Amino acid sequence: MNFGKGEKLNHFLSKIFPLVRPVETSQAMNIEHKKLADKIHLLTFENQKDITSTFLRFQEHYESPNFRGKVFSLEEFKEWYIKNSPKGVASGDFTYYSDWNGFNIPSYILKPFYDDKFNPLSKQEKNFLDIFKDEGGAFYIIGVHKKSKIKDQLLKHEIAHGLFYTKDSYRLEVQQTLSQFDDIKNIKEELSLKAGYHEEVLEDEVHAYSIDFESNLKTPIPEKLSEELRKLYEKYS
């Protein structure tokens, strides 16, 4: 997931993934669906409200510090998020729809949703599940939206998550690199305070934020770490 601020989409994708090919377009909300490489699916939404309201329960079932692995309603999540997220605490409002920009989940997260555990499903959630209903095997889903001012960085951040999950050799090399830097503890600590990340995904997030040129974190990320991880990213993407 990515907290980045919302510029232009350049030819980033065609540069990184010569294999990009459009698969289908969803009618209901205007979601573009592309397959990147063989196991990473990219959904591009029109705006931030569309993407955040669609991904919320899938993303938080995957990596919320409070709801990971649990079944919950939107209302339950809202109540918790207002009390635990920095902007929620400060304003008393539910700011999720303007807090987050990029999303990432492995396909196994969809299962309890297909199995009716999360009923009632919202229209957006049903639409989301429809996109992947005929997709077999394990894959990874990332999402970005067109209104983000830093869309290319956002995309890079989310693709990094996709590679980390789907390519074992990439993940191992990333982990080996991360283990050489003590300061990642502080980055993890800052990320924990955002109310968006479970401990289990912090390593993956530090990795993605280090590759991202617009990470927007207060804790400095060692330049050497970013350099080495960006090299790995280029090698594998």
Q: Could you list the residues that contact Zn ion (CB under 5 A)? A: 1-2, 205, 208
Q: How far apart are CA 176 and CA 178, in angstroms?
A: 6
For tokens 């804790």, the residue is: 219
Closest approach of Zn ion to the CB of residue 116, in Å: 29
- Nearest Cα to Cα of residue 141 among 52, 58, 49, 61: 58
- Do 47 and 147 meet the contact criterion of CB atoms below 8 Å apart? yes
Residue number with CB closer to Zn ion (1 or 43): 1
Q: Three-state DSSP class for 206?
A: helix
Question: Which lies closer to Zn ion via its Cβ, residue 2 or residue 85?
Answer: 2
- Cβ(67)–Cβ(59) below 8 Å: no
Closest distance between Zn ion and the C-beta of residue 151, in Å?
Answer: 15
Q: Which is nearer to Zn ion, 208 or 221 (CB)?
A: 208
Minimum CB distance to Zn ion, residue 89 (Å): 22
| Helix, strand, coil distribution of the chain in percent, nearest 5 | 50, 15, 35
Q: Which is nearer to Zn ion, 5 or 117 (CB)?
A: 5
List, in sequence order, every beta strand (DSSP E) within the chain.
21-26, 31-36, 40-45, 103-106, 140-145
Task: State the minimum distance, in angstroms, from the CB of residue 25 to Zn ion.
Answer: 25
Query: Closer CB to Zn ion, residue 163 or residue 208?
Result: 208
Compute the least distance from the CB of residue 132 to Zn ion, in Å.
20
